[in-house]
């Protein structure tokens, strides 16, 4: 397109360009000089396999006195995707040179640039940073001088033991922090509670960080927190109090190795979604009677759980319930009679090896529109009383290895969708036209077999 030699004379042809996408130019070895384009707002670069370095030619860095050195003057979004051989991304100018680069850049995304070892650190207006599949050196360099972040998402950053302290201290407007698949992360912050965003952070998500063993006690000081998710962190065995965030917290997800849920849970009166999943050491759940705003509740795959929590009869707004996968020594599913039946619309049941029947009390849920039945391996036939759930339109059957028989066509006359997944015996019997169960389901508009 343009080279550093003719850019000053040639870039005027492209003065009005607002958006540039460079995708799959696999033989290109050097990126074009586009830092001088005065109107460029969005730049997307993907799959430039032969580009190993982004150097000064990318910016258009001229040393004559007539050039004001504002590079990428209007750029707001920059994305680098699948640059598999990119090793170096240099700063625009030498340290002794004065000038401005990326003055308006708000969003920076770097994904799947696994070889990248160096990057710039001058992003004076950056608000949203997303880095995936990179190493900690690159991340730390890019984030070292940031002070204006509102959103940070990091994923699959190798050798990252903790989030850099300066990043946590200097970004007082951070509203969203997401960390996922960082296998070397041990601590969220290196020296305890050094956060600068106590009053701004609204969403904190940490997932699939196997080595994470500690969350700072300062969690309770995140006064604006609305969404808190810690999932698939098996080495996390204790949880700080959430008493201080109880008033505004609307969504809470916990999936780790804790024995006791965080204190303050019962005071989260604004909570609309609560998910407790794959907590193998959890023994009990506190009374939920004051969580009157709860709309969605998940309690699944907690193998040591001794019983359902008290207070479920007070959850009058509950629409979605996913429950089960409890102690495999139990011969029967725990009673659901305390669940408010008038409001519940979606019920997802997780069984275990010993169960050979569904809990009878789900017949009470007359407002159900969706019913999921999972992991009931000993069930061979679904009960005819499923026909009493006349409002159910969608029935999902998943991983019921010995299930063979469905209720009668009359019991399933209200269904509009039947989904059968990983139920090998039933799948064979539901083959269109020839299966033994086919006539029972032929009237259902949408039947999916997998």
Please check the confidence at residue 204 and state whether its pLDDT lies above 60: yes
Of 157-166, 327-336, 348-357, 361-370, where does mean pLDDT reach its minimum?
Answer: 327-336
Please check the confidence at residue 318 and state whether its pLDDT lies above 60: yes
pLDDT of residue 64: 46
Rounded to an integer, the average pLDDT of 250-275 is 93
Spatial contact of 188 and 161, defined as CB atoms under 8 Å apart: no
pTM above 0.95, yes or no: no
Please report which confidence band the pLDDT of residue 342 belongs to, taking 50, 70 and 90 as the band edges: confident
Q: Shortest CA distance to 20 belongs to which of 86, 84, 82, 76?
A: 76
Bridge partners (DSSP) listed for residue 53: 88
Under 8 Å CB-to-CB from 444, ≥6 apart: which residues? 412, 415, 416, 417, 418
What is the C-alpha separation between 75 and 71, in angstroms, rounded?
A: 9
Mean of the per-residue pLDDT values for the chain? Answer: 90
Q: What's the first-to-final CA gap in the chain, in angstroms?
A: 50
pLDDT digits (tens, 9 = 90+) for 357-395: 999 989 989 899 999 999 999 999 999 999 999 999 999
Bridge partners (DSSP) listed for residue 129: 108, 152
Please check the confidence at residue 314 and state whether its pLDDT lies above 80: yes
Please check the confidence at residue 343 and state whether its pLDDT lies above 60: yes
pLDDT of residue 77: 98
Rounded to an integer, the average pLDDT of 248-252 is 94
Spatial contact of 105 and 123, defined as CB atoms under 8 Å apart: yes
pLDDT digits (tens, 9 = 90+) for 12-32: 667 889 999 999 999 999 999
* Extents of the domains making up the chain: 1-126, 376-450
Write the secondary structure of the chain as one string of H (helix), E (strand) and C (coil).
Answer: CCCCCCHHHHHHHHCCCCEEEEECCCCCCCCCCCCCCCCCCEEEEECCCCCCEECHHHHCCCCCCCCCCEECCCCCEEEEECCCCCCEECCCCCCCCCCEECCCCCEEEEECCCCCCECCCCCCCCCEEEEEEEEHHHHHHHHCCCCCCCEEEEEEEECCCCCCHHHHHHCCCCCEEEEECCCCCCECCCCCCCCCCCCCCCEEEEECCCCCCECCHHHHHCCCCCEEEEEEECCCCCCCCCHHHCCCCCEEEEEECCCCCCCCHHHCCCCCEEEEECCCCCCCCCCCCCCCCCCEEEEECCCCCCCCCCCHHHCCCCCEEEEECCCCCCCCCCCCCCCCCCCCCEEEEECCCCCCCCCHHHHHCCCCCEEEEECCCCCCECCHHHHHCCCCCEEEEECCCCCCECCCCCCCCCCCEEEEECCHHHHHHCCCCCCCCHHHHCCCCEEEEC
Please report which confidence band the pLDDT of residue 137 belongs to, taking 50, 70 and 90 as the band edges: very high
Please report which confidence band the pLDDT of residue 65 belongs to, taking 50, 70 and 90 as the band edges: very low
Q: Exposed/middle/buried for 328, CB within 10 Å: 0-12, 13-18, 19+?
A: exposed
For β-strands 88-89 and 53-54, DSSP reports them as: parallel
For β-strands 273-277 and 251-256, DSSP reports them as: parallel
pLDDT digits (tens, 9 = 90+) for 401-449: 999 999 999 999 999 999 999 999 999 999 998 999 999 999 999 999 9
pLDDT of residue 61: 59
pLDDT of residue 66: 42
């Amino acid at each position: 397109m343009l080279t550093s030699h003719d850019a000053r004379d040639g870039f005027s042809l492209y003065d009005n360009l607002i958006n540039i996408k460079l995708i799959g130019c696999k033989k290109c070895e050097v990126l074009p000089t586009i830092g001088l384009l005065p109107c460029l707002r969005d730049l997307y670069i993907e799959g430039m396999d032969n580009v190993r370095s982004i150097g000064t030619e990318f910016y258009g860095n001229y040393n004559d006195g007539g050039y004001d050195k504002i590079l990428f003057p209007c750029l707001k979004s920059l994305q680098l995707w699948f640059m598999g051989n990119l090793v170096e991304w240099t700063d625009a100018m030498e340290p002794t040179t004065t000038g401005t680069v990326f003055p308006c850049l708000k969003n920076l995304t770097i994904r799947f640039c696994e070889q990248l070892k160096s990057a710039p650190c001058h992003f004076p207006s950056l608000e949203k940073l997303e880095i995936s599949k990179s190493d900690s050196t690159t991340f730390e360099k890019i984030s070292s001088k940031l002070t204006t972040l509102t959103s940070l998402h990091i994923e699959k950053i190798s050798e990252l033991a903790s989030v850099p302290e300066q990043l946590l201290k200097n970004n007082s407007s951070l509203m969203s922090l997401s960390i996922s698949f960082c296998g070397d992360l041990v601590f969220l912050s290196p020296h305890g509670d050094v956060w600068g965003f106590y009053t701004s952070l609204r969403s904190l998500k940490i997932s699939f960080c196997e080595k994470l063993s500690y969350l700072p006690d300062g969690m309770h000081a995140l006064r604006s927190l609305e969404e808190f998710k810690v999932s698939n962190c098996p080495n996390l065995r204790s949880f700080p109090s959430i008493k201080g965030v109880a008033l505004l917290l609307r969504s809470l997800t916990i999936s780790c190795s804790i024995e006791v849920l965080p204190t303050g849970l019962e005071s989260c009166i604004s909570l609309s979604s609560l998910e407790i999943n794959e907590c193998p050491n959890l023994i009990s759940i506190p009374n939920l009677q004051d969580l009157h705003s709860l709309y969605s509740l998940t309690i699944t795959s907690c193998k040591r759980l001794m019983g359902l929590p008290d207070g479920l009869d007070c959850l009058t707004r509950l629409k979605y319930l996913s429950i089960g996968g409890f102690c495999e020594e139990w011969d029967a599913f725990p009673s659901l009679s305390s669940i408010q039946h008038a409001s519940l619309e979606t019920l997802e049941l997780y069984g275990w090896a010993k169960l050979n029947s569904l809990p009878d009390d789900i017949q009470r849920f007359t407002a159900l529109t969706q019913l999921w039945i999972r992991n009931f391996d000993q069930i061979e036939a679904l009960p005819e009383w499923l026909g009493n759930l006349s409002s159910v339109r969608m029935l999902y059957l998943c991983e019921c290895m010995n299930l063979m028989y469905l209720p009668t066509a009359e019991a399933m006359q209200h269904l509009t969708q039947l989904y059968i997944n990983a139920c090998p015996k039933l799948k064979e019997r539901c083959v269109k036209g020839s299966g033994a169960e086919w006539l029972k389901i032929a009237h259902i508009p949408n039947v999916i077999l997998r």
